[in-house]
């Protein structure tokens, strides 16, 4: 049946499109949500765990490092102090006041411990440097007003902050106070700033990790690798901290004005006077994590991209298949409706046929009775006797016509022999052609057969196939009745489909009628010649057998009916390629 598209259908199509789009979207969203959420959560948990443990490890490492260096520095200062202290205690003020002796001592210290002591000096209670050994000319220099001297005089020993002093170079002093004949004196040593600086400067970790020492007033005691604004936060906060326990190492993070977040590890030195600060940018300190994070993010992004692509492609393909299935179902429904229509038309026709048959029989018999009566002598001389006879004959003729119609209707509704048999298609075609041979001869039609003998045997209702073929052949013969022609019947296999063609070169079917020829009761034959059921029956049977029936026709050229049946469905078992002979 040709499908006529109407605007209503197009509206339904739009609705269908929308439905499938929604379906696609929902599927995509579901797939994405279901795969994304656990994926992201698991990744986040792992990252967090890794971050936490990595951070712990990094901080522990930094704290250990700072602690070790703090101990090193403290030990260094203690050792230098010890050096001076033993010198002051071992030798007398007089001995040490001798410059040669002092120089000698300095050389010995430098040889024993390295070039940490730059110079040594002995200073009396008034702050005058009595003797001096070192590279500068500082004999008789007066330190009476120097802060460190005042502080040193108050204690047994003293370690100064870093300052420039008389020599104009940064250095710091270690001083030991001793008494000589009731007067205090001081043995002073200068620590080489560069050497001391190295102790701290060698604490380098990563790209940005460095260390330096601040004194109580926030002045730099060593030269940091990067500029440090020691008077700014967070250093002030570090110095303000009350707890200055010796072994305490504290860690915190701070974001400076430029938004760079750094990690600070601090430890107090020199009895809380100095603070060793190690600082490193967080991004650098946790660079391993950052790298892992970057890799993870890339993998995550790729994974998400893959999920997205899969979700889209999969959903599109699935919905495409669903749409196809729906379309097929829809078509099947239409076919079922079509077959149902045919069936109900058939039942209706059978009912009508039964009901009409009896009245027609009675009418014909009554007419026959009148005919009988006309035989009687009373009517023999009737003027219109001839006319009566003609009318009654006509009634009988028309009654017979009614009978033919009802019988055809009944056969349309009647169950044909549906027994499925195995048989050879070619033989059935030849049988039917033989049956129609006489009629073809009268109609001056040449019948030509092109049968493929290699066709496999089929399992079908033979009666039904015969009916279809006979109807098609009868139609062709009817069409060519007047002028004769040729009828060609072909059978062959095309891609697993059995094709049977019934082609005539009759007048053809006008395009306007082509769409309706399979409709029940549609006929172009003269009144009384056709019931319009033949092709309808053919259509019903072929569809029922799982095949298709097509028609191609050109006015003036001819008409070809083509029956297509999938061999897969109708092929006889155990018959792969039929018989060859």
Partner 1 sequence: MTIAKVMLVDDEVPFVETMTKRLTKRGLDVASAFSGNEALDALAKNQAVEVVILDVKMPGMDGIDALRELKRRYPLVEVVMLTGHATVESAIEGMKLGAFDYLMKPCDMDVLMGKVQEAAAKKRQHEGKIIEARLKEIATRRV
Where in 314-353 is the site for partner 1 (CB under 8 A)?
A: 353
Question: Between 353 and 382, how does the x/- string for binding to partner 1 read (CB under 8 A)?
Answer: xx--xx-xxx-xxx-xx--x----------
Contact window for partner 1 (CB under 8 A) among 209-217, 248-256, 268-276, 395-403: 395-403
The CA distance from 118 to 136, in Å, is: 9
Q: Which is nearer to partner 1, 35 or 357 (CB)?
A: 357
Other beta carbons within 10 angstroms of residue 238's beta carbon come to 18
Least distance CB 362 / partner 1 (angstroms): 5
Q: Which is nearer to partner 1, 67 or 408 (CB)?
A: 408
Q: Which is nearer to partner 1, 285 or 364 (CB)?
A: 364
Give, as one character, the DSSP assignment of residue 171.
Answer: B
Least distance CB 400 / partner 1 (angstroms): 8
Contact window for partner 1 (CB under 8 A) among 51-59, 132-140, 400-408, 484-492: 400-408
What is the DSSP secondary-structure string of 98-150?
A: SHHHHHHHHHHHHHHH-TTEEEEEEE-TTSBEEEEESSS--TT-B-TT-HHHH
Q: How many residues bind partner 1 (CB under 8 A)?
A: 20
Cα distances (Å, whole numbers) of residue 355 to 136, 371, 400, 414, 527: 145, 25, 15, 16, 22
Least distance CB 465 / partner 1 (angstroms): 18
**245: phi then psi, degrees, rounded to nearest 5:** -60, 145
Q: Which is nearer to partner 1, 40 or 361 (CB)?
A: 361
Angle value at C-alpha 531, between 527 and 535, nearest 5 degrees: 130
- Environment class of residue 75 by beta-carbon count within 10 Å: exposed (0-12), middle (13-18) or buried (19+)? exposed
Among 89, 400, 525, 544, binds partner 1 (CB under 8 A): 400
Least distance CB 399 / partner 1 (angstroms): 6
CB 493 within 8 A of CB 570: no
The CA distance from 422 to 573, in Å, is: 9
Least distance CB 522 / partner 1 (angstroms): 24
Least distance CB 541 / partner 1 (angstroms): 18
What is the DSSP secondary-structure string of 299-366?
A: HHHHHHHHHHHHHHHHHHHHHHHHHHHHHHHHHHHHHHHHHHHHHHHHHHHHHHHHHHHHHHHHHHHH
Q: Which is nearer to partner 1, 408 or 562 (CB)?
A: 408
Least distance CB 528 / partner 1 (angstroms): 17
Q: Which is nearer to partner 1, 358 or 438 (CB)?
A: 358
Q: Which is nearer to partner 1, 125 or 356 (CB)?
A: 356
Residue 151 makes contact with partner 1 by CB under 8 A: no
**399: phi then psi, degrees, rounded to nearest 5:** -60, -40
Least distance CB 406 / partner 1 (angstroms): 8
Among 410, 514, 552, 567, binds partner 1 (CB under 8 A): 410
Cis peptide before 509 (omega within 30 of 0): no
Among 131, 280, 406, 475, binds partner 1 (CB under 8 A): 406
Angle value at C-alpha 578, between 576 and 581, nearest 5 degrees: 145
Q: Which is nearer to partner 1, 288 or 365 (CB)?
A: 365
Specify the pairing of strand 129-133 against strand 157-159: unpaired
Q: Which is nearer to partner 1, 144 or 368 (CB)?
A: 368
Kind plus residue range of the DSSP H or E element containing 490: strand 485-494
Q: Please give the residue ranges that form the binding site for partner 1 (CB under 8 A).
A: 353-354, 357-358, 360-362, 364-366, 368-369, 372, 399-400, 403, 406-407, 410, 414
């Amino acid at each position: 049946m040709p499908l006529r598209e109407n605007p209503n259908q197009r509206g339904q199509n739009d609705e269908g499109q929308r439905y499938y789009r929604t379906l696609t979207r929902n599927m995509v969203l579901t797939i994405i949500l279901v795969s994304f959420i656990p994926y992201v959560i698991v990744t986040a948990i792992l990252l967090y765990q890794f971050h936490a443990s990595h951070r712990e490890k990094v901080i522990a490492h930094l704290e250990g490092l700072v602690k070790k260096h703090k101990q090193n520095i403290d030990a260094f200062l203690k050792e230098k102090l010890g050096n001076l202290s033993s010198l002051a205690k071992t030798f007398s003020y007089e001995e040490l006041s001798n410059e040669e002796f002092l120089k000698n001592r300095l050389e010995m210290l430098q040889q024993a411990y390295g070039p940490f002591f730059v110079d040594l000096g002995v200073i009396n209670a008034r702050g005058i440097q009595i003797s001096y050994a070192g590279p500068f000319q500082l004999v008789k220099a007066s330190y009476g007003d120097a802060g460190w001297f005042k502080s040193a005089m108050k204690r047994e020993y003293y370690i100064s902050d870093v300052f420039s002093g008389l020599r104009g170079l940064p250095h710091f002093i270690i001083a030991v106070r001793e008494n000589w004949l009731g007067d205090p004196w001081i043995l002073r040593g200068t620590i080489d700033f560069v050497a001391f600086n190295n102790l701290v400067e060698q604490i380098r970790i990563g790209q940005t990790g460095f260390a330096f020492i601040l004194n109580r007033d926030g002045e730099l005691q060593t030269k940091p690798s990067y500029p440090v604004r020691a008077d700014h936060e967070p250093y002030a906060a570090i110095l303000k901290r009350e707890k200055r326990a010796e072994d305490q190492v504290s860690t915190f993070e701070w974001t400076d004005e430029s938004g760079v977040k750094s990690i600070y590890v601090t430890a107090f030195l020199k009895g809380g006077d100095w603070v060793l600060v190690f600082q490193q940018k967080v991004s650098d300190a946790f660079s391993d994590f950052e790298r892992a994070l970057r890799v993870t993010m890339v993998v995550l992004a790729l994974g998400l991209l893959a999920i997205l692509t899969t979700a889209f492609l999969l959903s599109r393909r699935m919905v495409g298949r669903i749409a196809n299935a729906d379309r097929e179902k829809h078509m099947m429904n239409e076919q079922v409706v079509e077959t149902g229509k045919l069936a109900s038309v058939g039942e209706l026709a059978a009912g009508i046929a039964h009901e009409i048959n009896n009245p027609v029989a009675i009418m014909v018999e009554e007419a026959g009775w009148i005919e009988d009566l006309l035989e009687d002598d009373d009517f023999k001389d009737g003027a219109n006797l001839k006319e009566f006879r003609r009318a009654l004959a006509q009634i009988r003729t028309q009654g017979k016509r009614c009978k033919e119609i009802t019988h055809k209707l009944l056969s349309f509704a009647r169950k044909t022999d549906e027994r499925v048999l195995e048989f050879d298609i070619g033989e059935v075609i030849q049988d039917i052609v033989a049956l129609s041979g006489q009629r073809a001869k009268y109609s001056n039609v040449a019948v030509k057969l092109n049968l493929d003998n290699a066709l496999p045997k089929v399992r079908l209702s033979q009666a039904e196939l015969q009916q279809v073929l006979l109807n098609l052949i009868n139609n062709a013969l009817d069409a060519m009745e007047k002028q004769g022609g040729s009828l060609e019947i072909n059978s062959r296999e095309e891609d697993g489909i059995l094709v049977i063609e019934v082609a005539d070169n009759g007048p053809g079917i006008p395009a306007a009628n082509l769409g309706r020829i399979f409709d029940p009761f549609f006929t172009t034959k003269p009144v009384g010649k056709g019931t319009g059921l033949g092709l309808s029956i053919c259509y019903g049977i072929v569809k029922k057998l799982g095949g298709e029936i097509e028609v191609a026709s050109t006015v003036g050229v001819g008409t070809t009916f083509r029956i297509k049946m999938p061999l897969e469905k109708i092929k006889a078992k155990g018959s792969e390629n039929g018989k060859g002979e």
